[in-house]
Every structure is written in structure tokens, then in C-alpha cells.
Chains A and B, each alone.
Chain A
Amino acid sequence: MTTLQARRWERRHVIQSLACGSLLLPGIVADLLAEDTSRQSADPLVPRPPHYAPRAKRVIYLFMTGGVSHLESFDPKPKLAADAGQKYNGRTLLGPQFKFAPAGQCGTPVSELFPSIATCADDLCVVRSLTGSHFEHFQATLGVHTGSLTVKRPSIGSWVSYGLGTDNRDLPSFVVLAPHLPYAGTQVWSSDFLPVCHQGTRVAPGDEPIQNLHRRSPTSAVQEMELDLLARFNGRHRQDRPSDPLLTGRIQSFETAFGMQRAMPDVLDLSQESPSTLALYGLEPGSTDGFAWQCLVARRMAERGVRFIELIDTGSSNNWDSHTNMQDHVAKAKNVDQAIAGLLKDLKQRGMLDETLVVWTTEFGRTPHTDGPTGRSHHPYVFSSWLAGGGVRGGIVYGASDDYGYEVAENAVHIHDFHATILHLLGLDHERLTYRHAGRDFRLTDVHGRIVTDIIA
């Protein structure tokens, strides 16, 4: 018996014990208990088969806010170093501010900003030719999440939830671990026209990770009394209205909420983790600070069947937006480097990396030329990201930018292509994953998208 089932039984006992010796009508209790078996009906989150055999079951989407410089992370540019100080398109070229070294067996160059991630190089599929973003944070952030650079559209996590449903109804199917609001705010994880159950649920470190998660009734015994009374009210009400799915669904939602109220604190309870695991992520015991906390929670959510887990490293300020000085990247990299490497290694040692697609991305790269004295501006023409696990070829580099990292030189991967490939790895055909809205079928990839087959293992 799984813990989930066990808990359901526990709940049944509570209901049954409360029923004893009271005015409760036994028929209604039976009705309520029958809910557990019939809960799947007409449920938009029920697990759905993919279009074809998937390579990954879930996604962990690591989003770096503000625009990580491709020139200082995964796309070394010796010619930019050589020509530093020269003018290009009327601007002064700035040489790469951090050193690169070949990493792993594969020798993929990784900058010194990411010494820990470098140790995972053989698992990484670095894409150096992402394009199709926008000059501004807001639109670019929206773009890498929804494929739309202008108006709000469903987020990729919502599409995946819509396409595949979820295995664990006690947790949301799409979780966003975000200590701060990103650019474009909640539009980043909006389900837009998709049913709201596919909307990202923001989980923030701190006292209230999810709105209204904590039981406000003084004790669990009191709350169980309340839920039992509610079941009686609703049961009586439903007697003459047995076939309305909205009524049934709402009754079930309280059961699910009750489950979430217990499952969520459990998933966030890192005291169950060993000191060596904490050390792997670089997390101080008891700390909920920083990306290490987010990464470890992500792994625990992945274990429990959350379909799409997004991690946003910082918010719309104090992020990778290093206009004046590229040295500002150091602190941002330090926040994520060991945590991400820890996540990859932890997933691997638990045998989960093969079925978990880890995506590391950002909204755009940074200009080869200066903005402030030693900083760089926004650069949507070409930027870098990487994927790992879940059916991608590790230890490779795909695509290239030109000598200065100004434009794509070969194998452009448009954001739509990136999305199409992620869906493909999950067994979803981006052209068939559609939703009828406002008179037409919408897709995450609009009318575009090419599956980048070369990066698939």
C-alpha cells in the first residue's frame, strides 16, 4: 500500500469513526467514501497517455532570470577576446570576462563561473544557437515560457499538464518554485485559456509556501470535524442532484485540498534528507535560502510525481542582468552552480535522470559589446541553454554562434523548436497538442516548431 492509499484509509477511518453514535446518516457516509473510487471521472488532471512513447516523464525547468551571458557561460569566443576594445556595429567589443576549460570526457567547454556544473558536462547537451527571443525582459521571459512575445498564452508547464495530466492528485501538476515574482509576473505560469487546474502553483520558501496551505482551524481534530460536517451538508444536497459533475467535483476538491495540506508540508520537509544529500546540494541544514533549497525540493517533487517543476532563481531584480559589470554574474552563478550539479547527480544516483528532463535556460544572452563599462546589454539573437537527462544526448554541443557570439552561425534553434523538442521528449507531438479557443486551435508552438532530432539520444 502506498502512503497515499494509506492516508486515504486513514481518512476513511476518521469519517467512519465520526459517524459512530451521531445523527449522521450512514447512506451519506457511504456516498462520501465512494468518492475515492469515482474521483477520476471527468477529471482534467487524470494521467493521459502521450502521443507516442516518451523519453521523459517529467520536466525540471531551471529558469535563470535576467539574461545569462552566453559569452561567459557555455559559448567561448576566443576571437571576441582577441578583438576586445575594437568597434563592432558602432559599439565597443568586450572580451569574455571568465575563462573556459574543457570539462568531462566530452570536453565541452564550461566557464569558470560553473565549476560544479562542469563536473556534469558529460550529461549536458549544450545548445549554443537558441534564438527568437526579444530585447526586453518581459517579452523575452514570456517568450521562453509561452512561445508568445507579446500577449499572455499558456505556459509550457500548463501545456504539459494539459497533455499528460498528473500522477499525484495531492500535489499540483505544475509547480513553480519562485522566491520572487519574475518579469511578466504571474503570466509566466499562467494557464491562460487552458483550464485553471493547469496553472502553475507558485511555491515560495518561507512560512506560507502556498496560499492558504496551513490549517487555520486550531487542531486537526477540529478540521476533521469540519470536513465531516461539510460532507454531510454536501451529501444531503447531492441526494436530489446525483448527476451534476460540478457538485461532485467540488466535493472531491475538498478531499484533494485536505491531501495537499498534508502532502505539501511533507514534500517541503527537508529534515528527512541525509546530511550527505544536503551537502551534495550545498544546503545548510534548516535553510530555505537560495537555489539549493529549490533544487532539493524539486527532486522531492519529481519523486512524488509532479509533472512540471519550474525553478526561478531570482526575481525581476538582483538577477543576471549585468549591464554595468559582468563580475555581477559571479554571485548569481554561485547561487545556482553547486545546487544544479547536486540535483543532476542526485537524480542520476537515484536512477531518475533518465526519465527526468532537466532544462537550463534564460530569457536571452548578452551583447558582445559593452553597455556599462564592463557590462553587457540584452541580446536575443543568439544565446545558450542546456538540457540533460530524459532522452537527450549528453556530452554534446549543438549549434553555434558566430565569432563574436552575435548571431547564430549554424543550426539555429528557435524558441519554438526548443519547445517542440521538449514536448517531443515527453511523448507529445507539438502539432497535435492543441486546444480550441476563440474559434481556432492553439498550440504552444503557434504554427512553428522543429524537433531538434540531433540532440535526442
Chain B
Amino acid sequence: MRASRATARLVCVLTLAWCPSAGPLVAQVTDAAGPAPTAQQLEFFEKHVRPLLITHCYACHSAEADAPETELRLDSRPGILQGGARGAAVVPGEPEKSLLIKAVRYADPLLQMPPSGRLAPREVDVLVEWVRMGAPDPRSEAAQPAAPKQPYTVSAEARQWWSFQPMREPAVPVVQNERWPACEIDRFVLAGLEAHGMTPAPPAEKRVLIRRATFALTGLPPTLEEIDAFVADDATDAFAKAVDRLLASPHYGERWGRRWLDLVRYADTSGCNSDFPIPEAYRYRNYVIDSFNRDKPYDRFLREQLAGDLLAAEGEDSPSEDSNQRRYEQIVATGYLAISRRFSSLAEEFHLTLDDTVDNFGKAILGLTISCARCHAHKFDPIPQEDYYALYGIFQSTTYSFPGTEIYRHTQDLVPLVPAERRHKELLPYLERTAELDARIFATYSHMATLDTGDEKNELRARWQAMQKERDELVKSLPDFPKAYAASEGTPINARLHLKGNPESLGPEIPRGFLQILGGQKLAAGQPASGRRQLAEWITDPQNPLTARVMVNRVWQHHFGRGLVRTPDDFGTRGAPPTHPELLDYLALRFIEDGWSLKALHRRILLSRAWQTACLENADYARRDPDNERLWTFNRRRLEAEEFRDAMLAISGALDRSPGGAHPFKPEWEWRYSQHQPFVDDFATNRRTVYLMQQRIRQQPFLAVFDGADTNAATGVRQVSTTPQQALFLLNSEFAHEQAALLADRLAREAPQSRARLDRAFRLALGRPATGVETDEGLEYIERIEPLLASAGIADRDRSRAAWASYLRVLLSGNEFMFIE
């Protein structure tokens, strides 16, 4: 990065950041009185200036402006001299000091007016000349002082939107067919069906159900033993036992943790232009998986991710011998904040990372598009810009671990996961040395960036590079200790509103706090902390109408293929209203009552008859309810990328079921990544797909083809695309061919006899025995393909394996394997 202007700005912004008390750089307000304009000057104004202002400026900067997003008024002399948030628009006689001139010159990319396009040079000249002559202006009537901005209040109307209303205990509906419901969920669903003269589909067959449930809870196919045991179990609670078994499996966390990782756009790299690796990110990934496996209450799960370090410091848990481990876990949880996306190499663009945090926090946890209020009040939902910056300030007061960038290739602010004593004795001296060296490296770079080409610059560059090498050596010499890529408390500061979202155009200071529509709690003035602790409480308050609703909707969505609210990341007025609002509230209230237990919620849903219906077609119903919103039948769904790959590995026997650990990144002291040579790698593994290393600059190739989650933005709904590239993967990829061959080997071992082998293949892949037709067809296929393989030069001893692999790969390519019913 050698863009001189950029780095000059970098230095400037950082200087401001270091001095949080520094005031805004606004021009002095000039006295409105001035020498009376001459007739000639007034003529100039009327002929040239007024038309120009009317044409290009009044739409936003006058009393007539529709929706003034600014205080600046250009329709009177007092208005111009008083100016807007940045100060006076014009300093009479001083074009070079006048913001108006600066803006129309378009020289500063951050202050360019009119925004629709630059004025013609002649028009700019007119304005410059006018200012130089003292800005003569007959419009002396004081502008209607822009009405002082009313503090924002949420209107009663806005509060009426369903999702902002408190959750209400619904009356469980009365149904005609009393024999059908197994639980309250069923009553809600059945009531909806009966109201439209529809009846639910019969229950799914047991083989279908166990395949459905096993993929639903673990993302893996059932084993032959699991299928047989379930089919043989005639007890009335056979399915309940199976669900409990699946929820107790460590694979449950891998499956459902992945859903959370989708939402928080998890990646093992930073997303900056060089996509620096984050070797410690895996700890957060494993924390998520582990939390799901332990059925950590969802409210606590959220609190830990926002403020785990503070909970740890408060000793929320009783001190015990494993209190250190608990503490570390809670620190790791704040990886949620630290994995926010990084942009470019410039510290000055860190505001984009904070924006990313707010955006993700809103969508993933609250189901609100808060980020729409970054530049202006949300156009549709009751979220003023102030609310955006009330949250922003909380994250701005937080220190995120730094992953390194091209300019500065070392990590900073990682949190050591060691006992306080060790930290103090062993690490502190090192931490002090690195901090000191970091400061020098930074100062050198900043100075260098301001210099023109020449010896001094070259000398500084050499010094800067030498210091980075010194830093490498320091890292290298360090004792190995576990650390977390996490968040910690920074300098508490209220954010200043970014006018039009521009971080260099600062408006009033906004006290840190919560969304007004959700209570509008504020931090106590002078609060010596970021406010994450309070934020964690506000969002998990059982009175909060969104947090529980949003999460139960997500769980419902994954079990039924679609949420009760079809827009799971948007519960605002642009989102879809719920198809079954009472059911949604019923589930949300039970969720809270159950101590925010997700496993209890799964149990509730899976044990309903609504979830256990067969997957059928009905032309009449399809016409009346094309999206099956009333849920008369189970929605067929395609395997997600992870399920597909994991199932192939599981069936072939190649799946490594052990949990994944750290990825084999190069050590930090060898990092030389740059925008020209960004980090790009694949670390092959036969572990579950959730453990694959995922980047932000380059999508993991397999996941890119099969609609994997976006590592750059919250993915609430996976796309289900059907592309020829997916088919090519099955036809031609090494992976597909290898798994088929391994499955052939496995079957040859386990079932030497051909008919039994075919049958076993069907049971493994599809969860059912082969039919007579399928068996005959399979035998014929093997028989017919062997000569083709022989003529293709496949040696005798390999031919049978190749023939079976060919057959099995087709079996695994079929729709029956790829879809869950």
C-alpha cells in the first residue's frame, strides 16, 4: 500500500482516534453583517448565483427541501453563514476557506456537492468569484431557523408492527379432529388446515422418518444399525428415544453450530485485501459447536458472545477449580465480535468493521436490518440514525483482536488464555516489548507515508522493514501459550453520529444505548465500560419481543424448510409477517420457559405430528397453497453442502468423526501476505465439512458450488441453486470418484454376495432396501459395464471394483440420495 493520499489520511484519522476529546474541525461562524452589496454585485448574484443555487442546491438545502437530511440551508445569507454541522458554508471573501467551494470543487472525495454530479467548471468559477466578492446576497431575511431537531420518539403506529408487540400467550385453538394432534404445535397447524378444508398427510414411514430426523439433528445419514433398531422398536416412545439419542450425539453440535456459524459469517481469515489467516478463529468455531452440544441456554450463549470477557471478570460462575477453563471459554466466545470482517489495510477503514458488527448483530440476533440506519433514519422501520450510533459506540469502545494486515503483518490484542500469574510473570515483559515496538513501527510507517520519494523515505522504509523483522524474531522467541482471537474492553467513548454515514463528517455525540423500539435503555452517563455487559442483558431480557421469536423461527425454518416468518433475518416491516403468529409466540414463550433450551425446542418440534407427516403431492392443495404454508405435508429438502459431503464420507467409511482443531497455518513470523500475494490455501481433511478452513477472499471451492454460506455476510437462508457445475462435481470430481470407490471396497468386505451388496448399498445411501427391479437392474448394470471397462483398458483385477464404483457413484448422484423427505 503506497497510496500517498490514503496514508496521509490514515495518519490524520488515527491522530484523532488517539485524542477522543478532540473537537470537530469546524470553521468559525462568521458574523452575518457585512458591507452592503453594490447594485452590480446584486446583479451578479441574481443573474448567475441564485439560479445556480436553486437548480443544484435547494432540493436539499432550503426551507422547501422535502426531507432535509442536513441542517445546512443555502436559501438565505444567514443560512449560508451559519452553515451546517461542519460549520459555515461560506467565509465571505475567502473562497479557499469556504466549504461550499471545497464541496463543488469535488477535490475532497468526502465532501462533494452536488452529489448528483459535479458542476460545470464555469459554474464553479461563478461561485468562487461570488465568494471572493464577499458573497453579496440580498436574501437577508433570516432563514426560518431550521426547526431544532425533535428528539426521536417511536410512534404509536410504529409500535403496532407485530414483531415489536410483546409476545402474548395465545389461546390454543380448538380443532375438529381431536385424534390427530399429539401436542399444541399440532393444534395450531391443524386449526389452520381445517379452516381451509385441508387434512394433514399421513405419518411418514419409519425408515423415512429416521433418515429425516438423523439428517435434521446431526447432518449425517443414520447407520444401518440405527435404522434397524428404530424400525424394530414398537414402543410408543420409540421416536422420542431416537430424538434424545440424536440430540445427545456430538454430531448434533456440529450440525446446529454450523447454522450459527452461517449467521455470524464465520471464516478462518480476516477478509482484508490480503485475507490474513486467523489461526485462533477455530477456538470460537469449537466454542459454538460445544455450546450447542451442551445445550447452553441461548440467552447465556448470546451474553457470552457479546460480553463473555466481562462475565468472566465478574465471576458470573462460582469460582471453582475449573474456573479458569470457564473464563477462557467466555473469552473465546467474544470471538463473535472479533471475527467481524476486516477491510483493506488501512486502520482508517476500521469503521467498516464496526458497521459490519452492527449489521450482523442486527440481522443474526434481532432479525432487524439496523444497518439501514447507518446513513439516515431507517426508511421502513422505526430505527433512527441515533440508534445505530448508540450501538456503534458500544463496539467502538471495544478492542477487537487485530489479525495483521499487509502494512503491519503481526497480530495484536490477542487474549492470552493463561492464569493471571503466568500472564504476569512470563508474558507481561513480552507484551510490553511488543507494544513498544508496535508503536515505533507504526510511527515510522506513518511518517514514511507522508514523504515524497527520496532518500529519507527509503531510509525510513528500510528501518520499518527491519523493525518488522525484529518483531518476527520477538514472536518466534515467545513461549507458546494458548490465546484467543477475541474482544476486550477498549476506551469507553460515545460515538458521534456519522453524517450521511460518512465517518469523517461527524455529527452530535450519541450516548451508548439500545434501540428505542426495543426499550431504548441508555448507559449511565460516565459509565467506565463499553456497555457490552448491559447490551447483553438488554437483548436477552425475556421482555425483548425479538430475540426469542427470531431464534425459534430459525429452528422452525431448518426443520420445516421455511420459517413461520419467511424472512428470518428481517422481522421489520419489509419482512414477511408470520404465517402462524400465535404458534410463533407459543414457541417463543415455551423456549424462554424452558430456560432458552434449544434441545427442548427441537424435541417439541420433532415430536409433533406436523413434523412427522409424509412428503406427498396433492394437486388441489398445491393450487390453493402453493408454498405449503399451512404445512399439510413435509417439505422435501435438498441436502445442504455439508450434509452432502459428510454423508458421502460417512457412507464410504472415510469420514473422520473426530472434532477439528487448529488449521495448519504457517507461523506468524513467516507471514508475508499482501494484496498482491494474498493468503490462499486449502487444508484437505476427511473431517466433517464444518471443520474445513474457510476464507473470505476466496470461497472454499466445494462450498462455492453447493451453495455454502457466505463468509462475508449473515446467511439466514441458504440458496438452493441447481447448476451444471454441481452435476459436473458428481460426474467428474476426484472426490466423488474416490468416495464411490471406497464405498465399493467397503461393500465388497461387508457383503461379498452381489444381491446382498446391492441391498446394503441402498440401505446405506437411501435408508431403505433395494426393490427387486432395482436389484435386477443393478446386476445387469454391473454385467454390462464390465466389458466396457475392459475395452477401456481397466485391468481384470480392478474391473469389479471399477464397475461397482461406477454404479455406486450413480446411486449417490440420484435425487433420492440428494433429497430428504
Does chain B have a CB within 8 A of A316? yes
Q: Is the CB of A249 within 8 A of B697?
A: no
Contact for B816 among A184, A237, A370, A414, CB less than 8 A:
A237
Bits for A358-402, please: 1 = Cβ < 8 Å to B, else 0: 000000000101111100011011000000000000000000000
Does chain A have a CB within 8 A of B357? no
Cα–Cα distance between A394 and B315 once the two chains are bound (Å): 73
Cα–Cα distance between A195 and B678 once the two chains are bound (Å): 27
Bits for B774-787, please: 1 = Cβ < 8 Å to A, else 0: 00110011001100
Does chain A have a CB within 8 A of B734? yes
Q: Is the CB of B638 within 8 A of A260?
A: no
Cα–Cα distance between A226 and B818 once the two chains are bound (Å): 17
Does chain A have a CB within 8 A of B160? no
Does chain B have a CB within 8 A of A212? yes
Identify whether the interface residues of B are mostly helix, strand, loop, or mixed: loop
Does chain B have a CB within 8 A of A299? no
Q: Is the CB of A211 within 8 A of B806?
A: no
Does chain A have a CB within 8 A of B587? no
In B113-141, the 8 Å CB interface with A consists of 116-118, 120-121
With A230-B813, A230-B814, A373-B453: A225-B723 Cβ-Cβ less than 8 Å: no
Q: Is the CB of A223 within 8 A of B723?
A: no
List of B residues within 8 angstroms of A410 by Cβ: 120-121
Q: Is the CB of A151 within 8 A of B713?
A: yes
List of A residues within 8 angstroms of B622 by Cβ: 243
Does chain A have a CB within 8 A of B350? no
Q: Is the CB of B809 within 8 A of A247?
A: no
Cα–Cα distance between A408 and B107 once the two chains are bound (Å): 9
In A178-199, the 8 Å CB interface with B consists of 181, 183-187, 190, 192, 195-197, 199
List of A residues within 8 angstroms of B792 by Cβ: 218-219, 221-222
Q: Is the CB of A261 within 8 A of B731?
A: yes
Determine the residue in chain B with the shortest Cβ distance to A132: B109
Q: Is the CB of B816 within 8 A of A187?
A: no
List of B residues within 8 angstroms of A457 by Cβ: none
Cα–Cα distance between A138 and B120 once the two chains are bound (Å): 31
Bits for A150-190, please: 1 = Cβ < 8 Å to B, else 0: 11100000000000000000001000000001011111001
Determine the residue in chain B with the shortest Cβ distance to A447: B115
Q: Is the CB of B574 within 8 A of A230?
A: no
Q: Which of A50-58, A251-259, A300-308 contacts B (4 or more CB under 8 A)?
A: A251-259
Q: Is the CB of A250 within 8 A of B722?
A: yes
Q: Is the CB of B815 within 8 A of A237?
A: yes
With A195-B719, A242-B617, A244-B617: A225-B788 Cβ-Cβ less than 8 Å: yes
Bits for B560-594, please: 1 = Cβ < 8 Å to A, else 0: 00000001011010110000000000000000000
Q: Which of B1-9, B81-89, B435-443, B646-654 contacts A (4 or more CB under 8 A)?
A: B1-9
Q: Which of B201-209, B238-246, B306-314, B699-707 contacts A (4 or more CB under 8 A)?
A: B699-707
Q: Is the CB of A226 within 8 A of B791?
A: no
Does chain A have a CB within 8 A of B13? no
Does chain B have a CB within 8 A of A348? no
Q: Is the CB of A185 within 8 A of B697?
A: yes
Does chain B have a CB within 8 A of A438? yes
Contact for A23 among B372, B678, B777, B788, CB less than 8 A:
B777
Cα–Cα distance between A230 and B807 once the two chains are bound (Å): 9
Does chain A have a CB within 8 A of B680? yes
Does chain B have a CB within 8 A of A201? yes
Determine the residue in chain B with the shortest Cβ distance to A245: B722
Cα–Cα distance between A252 and B791 once the two chains are bound (Å): 30
List of B residues within 8 angstroms of A136 by Cβ: 1, 3, 6, 273, 344-346, 675
CB distance from A296 to the nearest CB of B (A): 24
CB distance from A19 to the nearest CB of B (A): 12
Does chain A have a CB within 8 A of B380? yes
Does chain B have a CB within 8 A of A122? no
Does chain A have a CB within 8 A of B725? yes
Does chain A have a CB within 8 A of B732? yes
With A138-B675, A233-B815: A186-B698 Cβ-Cβ less than 8 Å: yes
Q: Is the CB of A222 within 8 A of B785?
A: yes
In B791-806, the 8 Å CB interface with A consists of 791-794, 802, 806
Q: Is the CB of A226 within 8 A of B617?
A: no
Does chain B have a CB within 8 A of A69? no
CB distance from A410 to the nearest CB of B (A): 6
Determine the residue in chain A with the shortest Cβ distance to B572: A439
Q: Is the CB of A412 within 8 A of B118?
A: yes
Give the most central of B2, B704, B722, B777: most A CB within 10 Å. B722
Q: Is the CB of B815 within 8 A of A219?
A: no
Does chain B have a CB within 8 A of A139? yes
Does chain B have a CB within 8 A of A91? yes
Cα–Cα distance between A438 and B569 once the two chains are bound (Å): 7
Q: How many of chain A's residues touch chain B, expressed as a range?
A: 35 or more
Bits for B703-745, please: 1 = Cβ < 8 Å to A, else 0: 0110100101100000111111111111111100100000000
Does chain B have a CB within 8 A of A92? yes
In B662-706, the 8 Å CB interface with A consists of 675-678, 680, 695, 697-699, 701, 704-705
With A138-B273, A230-B813, A317-B676: A323-B2 Cβ-Cβ less than 8 Å: yes
Does chain A have a CB within 8 A of B480? no
Determine the residue in chain A with the shortest Cβ distance to B729: A212
Does chain A have a CB within 8 A of B619? yes
Q: Is the CB of B275 within 8 A of A185?
A: yes
Q: Is the CB of A261 within 8 A of B810?
A: no
Q: Is the CB of A197 within 8 A of B453?
A: no
Q: Is the CB of A370 within 8 A of B453?
A: yes
Contact for B121 among A150, A229, A241, A409, CB less than 8 A:
A409
In A264-298, the 8 Å CB interface with B consists of none
Bits for B494-518, please: 1 = Cβ < 8 Å to A, else 0: 0000000000000000000000000
With A136-B344, A201-B725, A412-B117: A440-B275 Cβ-Cβ less than 8 Å: no
List of A residues within 8 angstroms of B675 by Cβ: 136-138, 183, 316
With A237-B815, A250-B818, A438-B569: A150-B6 Cβ-Cβ less than 8 Å: no
With A212-B728, A218-B793, A237-B815: A197-B721 Cβ-Cβ less than 8 Å: yes
Determine the residue in chain B with the shortest Cβ distance to A372: B453
List of B residues within 8 angstroms of A450 by Cβ: 116-117
Determine the residue in chain A with the shortest Cβ distance to B369: A439
Q: Is the CB of B731 within 8 A of A23?
A: no
Contact for B724 among A260, A408, A414, CB less than 8 A:
A260
Contact for A246 among B107, B275, B722, B814, CB less than 8 A:
B722
Q: Is the CB of B617 within 8 A of A243?
A: yes
Q: Is the CB of A229 within 8 A of B781?
A: yes
Q: Is the CB of A439 within 8 A of B273?
A: no
Q: Is the CB of B344 within 8 A of A219?
A: no
Q: Is the CB of B4 within 8 A of A233?
A: no
Contact for B781 among A190, A225, A407, A439, CB less than 8 A:
A225
Determine the residue in chain A with the shortest Cβ distance to B707: A196
Cα–Cα distance between A192 and B707 once the two chains are bound (Å): 11
Does chain B have a CB within 8 A of A238? yes
Does chain A have a CB within 8 A of B422? no
With A92-B452, A136-B1, A316-B677: A196-B721 Cβ-Cβ less than 8 Å: yes
List of A residues within 8 angstroms of B707 by Cβ: 196
Cα–Cα distance between A217 and B788 once the two chains are bound (Å): 11
Does chain B have a CB within 8 A of A22? yes
Q: Is the CB of A253 within 8 A of B5?
A: no
List of A residues within 8 angstroms of B352 by Cβ: 150
CB distance from B112 to the nearest CB of A (A): 10
List of A residues within 8 angstroms of B807 by Cβ: 229
Contact for A186 among B106, B704, B723, B789, CB less than 8 A:
B704
What are 20 A-B contacts defined by CB distance under 8 Å? A23-B773, A92-B453, A135-B6, A184-B273, A187-B697, A196-B719, A199-B704, A201-B725, A210-B725, A211-B705, A211-B733, A215-B732, A218-B789, A222-B789, A229-B777, A253-B722, A259-B724, A261-B732, A439-B567, A440-B574
Q: A residues touching B (Cβ–Cβ < 8 Å)?
A: 22-23, 87, 90-92, 135-139, 150-152, 172, 181, 183-187, 190, 192, 195-197, 199, 201, 210-219, 221-223, 225-226, 229-230, 232-234, 237-238, 240-244, 246-247, 249-254, 256-261, 316-317, 321, 323, 367, 369-373, 377-378, 380-381, 407-410, 412, 414, 438-440, 450
